[in-house]
Chain A
Amino acid sequence: MKTIFLVDDSATMLMSLSEILQKAGFTVQTAADGADALSQFKAGAKPDLVITDQNMPGLTGIELIRETRKLPTFRFTPILMLTTESQQAKRQEGKAAGATGWLVKPVAGKDLLGVIKQVLPGA
């Protein structure tokens, strides 16, 4: 069973995405902001996929990706941005930081699961 790590400061987002992913058979871990996520990664959490928001207090999503990519165990872990931000410049910034893909909120459940299937073969 694959594990997906959700990072978002919105309780609504965490709950709705957790339910969708758990129903699809994934194990879900969560963090309410970038700093919490990063500390969990450093403490040994090793998800198969990370989905993060961009605008969060403290560490932004792009900053989180930048820091996470420095961890050896996360060099090839797919990381998706799920944010209300849609401008091209920000996407390029995310891509440069190491994001695997960019999803603009809100994304339909079946579309999200479709993207996960693409970045997590065999999921």
Chain B
Amino acid sequence: MQISNPLKVLAASVGWEQGQAWLNQQWLKFRGRVATVPAPEVVPPTDCAACRVTLEYSYKITQSFDEPLRLVMRETEQSALDIMGRVKDLDHTASQLVNYLTKADQDTLDMHAQIQNSSVSIERIGQFMQQLPEKIEAERQGSAELVEKINQIMELSATAEAIKDISRLTNMVAINAAIQAAHAGEYGRGFTVVADEVRRLSTRSGEAADQIGQTVKSIHQAIHAYLDSRLQRDFAHDLREAAHVAESAHQLQASHEDMNQYYKTLLTVVKEYNSNMANAIVEALGNMQYQDVVRQRLERVLIAQTRYRDVLQAALDDPALPSSPRFKADMEQVLSAYLEEESHHGDQSNAEGGDESSAPMIELF
């Protein structure tokens, strides 16, 4: 760079010949000092293409970060809300399951009451079974009395035989009477008519007695046959039915007890799972707070970027600014303000660390 000697020009202009040599010497000394400590070349940013490009693109790049960061905030918030909606549905489903099982548990209690009632019924059946032989015996005795009555009816048959004997004797007497009447001749004619009539009646009485005897026998045999078969059939059937009922009742009771135990076990297990799931859901919902923590952190980054761009914009507007101390101070201020703000917020990852973050996460006053 060519530097003209201003002192030489000044001396020449004023005609100060005497001082010319001295001034010239002073200039040479000054120029020598300047030459030993070269002054920094002050170039306005507008004249530094690279600097301007740096400023412009720093501005544009940070500006381009803004929208994606906002998008991240919106999308993570929407995702968090969606997840919570699903968790809520899951929780609702789990609650319904527990409600269902609670109802089942109530049903089991009801069933237990029914089992108790069944036990009473079974007890009654048992008593019935115990009394059954006595009842059968009583019924047999009742049947025996019936048979005795029937046997008494059979005595009618003997009466019929007696009637037949009387009928035979009457017939003999009637025959004799007829013979005697024949011997009597004309006088015995009326008597002969009576004897014939008596003999005819005797024959009819014998026939009737015979018929009664046959009928009584027939009835006696029929009743005996009926009673025997009924007693055999009914008692066997009753015994089988009673045994079947008792067995069914025992099976029913066992089934109820099994079912009761099964429901109780199922309910206990599901309630435990549900309790674990409820705790997990609460923790999952609690973790959703991280979305808000991240959102606020991004918001602080966005604020710092805006301040940073304001400083860059000022430098682009004023080419002399980057070379001034104010530019550096502004940058420093943007950085320190961001770091200061960030330090005011809890950081779980460093909860054991620095002074601020070592403050309790929960404090009651």
Structural contact, A12 and B365, CB atoms closer than 8 A: no
Residue of B nearest to A115 (CB): B362
Report chain A residues within 8 Å CB of B344: 85-87, 90
Partner of A101, one of B290, B292, B363: B363
The smallest C-beta distance from A87 to any residue of chain B, in angstroms, reads 5
Structural contact, A16 and B288, CB atoms closer than 8 A: yes
Given A19-B281, A91-B363, A95-B365, 7 extra CB contacts under 8 A: A8-B292, A10-B77, A85-B346, A86-B357, A87-B359, A107-B289, A119-B364
B320 at the interface (CB under 8 A from A): no
Report chain A residues within 8 Å CB of B362: 101-104, 107, 111, 115
Q: Which of B14-22, B45-53, B79-87, B180-188 forms part of the interface with chain A?
A: B79-87
Report chain A residues within 8 Å CB of B343: 87
Report chain A residues within 8 Å CB of B102: none
Interchain residue pairs with CB less than 8 A apart (15): A8-B292, A12-B295, A15-B81, A19-B84, A23-B278, A85-B344, A85-B346, A86-B346, A87-B343, A90-B344, A103-B361, A106-B287, A106-B289, A106-B348, A110-B279
Cα-based distance from A29 to B80 in the complex (angstroms):
20
Structural contact, B77 and A12, CB atoms closer than 8 A: yes
Report chain B residues within 8 Å CB of A19: 84, 87-88, 91, 281, 285
Give a binary string over A1-40; 1 marks a CB under 8 Å from any B CB, 0 the rest: 0000000101111011101100110000000000000000
- Given A11-B77, A13-B292, A23-B91, decide whether A104 and B283 contact each other with a Cβ distance below 8 A: no
Cα-based distance from A47 to B295 in the complex (angstroms):
28
Structural contact, A105 and B283, CB atoms closer than 8 A: no
Cα-based distance from A104 to B81 in the complex (angstroms):
21
| Secondary structure type dominating chain B contacts | helix
Structural contact, B292 and A12, CB atoms closer than 8 A: yes
| Chain A interfacial positions (CB closer than 8 Å to B) | 8, 10-13, 15-17, 19-20, 23-24, 55, 84-88, 90-91, 95, 99-113, 115, 118-119
- Given A12-B80, A23-B281, A85-B346, decide whether A106 and B293 contact each other with a Cβ distance below 8 A: yes
- Given A16-B289, A88-B359, A107-B289, decide whether A99 and B365 contact each other with a Cβ distance below 8 A: yes
Cα-based distance from A112 to B191 in the complex (angstroms):
136
Structural contact, B289 and A12, CB atoms closer than 8 A: yes
Structural contact, A13 and B87, CB atoms closer than 8 A: no
Q: How large is the interface on B (under 10, 10 to 19, 20 to 34, 35 or more residues)?
A: 35 or more
In residues 329-364 of chain B, which contact A (Cβ within 8 Å)?
Answer: 343-346, 348, 356-357, 359, 361-364
Structural contact, B84 and A105, CB atoms closer than 8 A: no
B144 at the interface (CB under 8 A from A): no
B63 at the interface (CB under 8 A from A): no
Structural contact, B295 and A10, CB atoms closer than 8 A: yes
B286 at the interface (CB under 8 A from A): yes
B296 at the interface (CB under 8 A from A): yes
Give a binary string over B272-315; 1 marks a CB under 8 Å from any A CB, 0 the rest: 00000011011101111111110111000000000000000000
Structural contact, B291 and A12, CB atoms closer than 8 A: yes
- Given A12-B81, A55-B296, decide whether A102 and B363 contact each other with a Cβ distance below 8 A: yes
Partner of A86, one of B290, B295, B345, B365: B345
The smallest C-beta distance from B306 to any residue of chain A, in angstroms, reads 17
Report chain B residues within 8 Å CB of A88: 356, 359
Report chain B residues within 8 Å CB of A16: 80, 84, 285-286, 288-289
Structural contact, A109 and B282, CB atoms closer than 8 A: yes
- Given A15-B81, A87-B343, decide whether A107 and B365 contact each other with a Cβ distance below 8 A: no
Cα-based distance from A103 to B286 in the complex (angstroms):
13
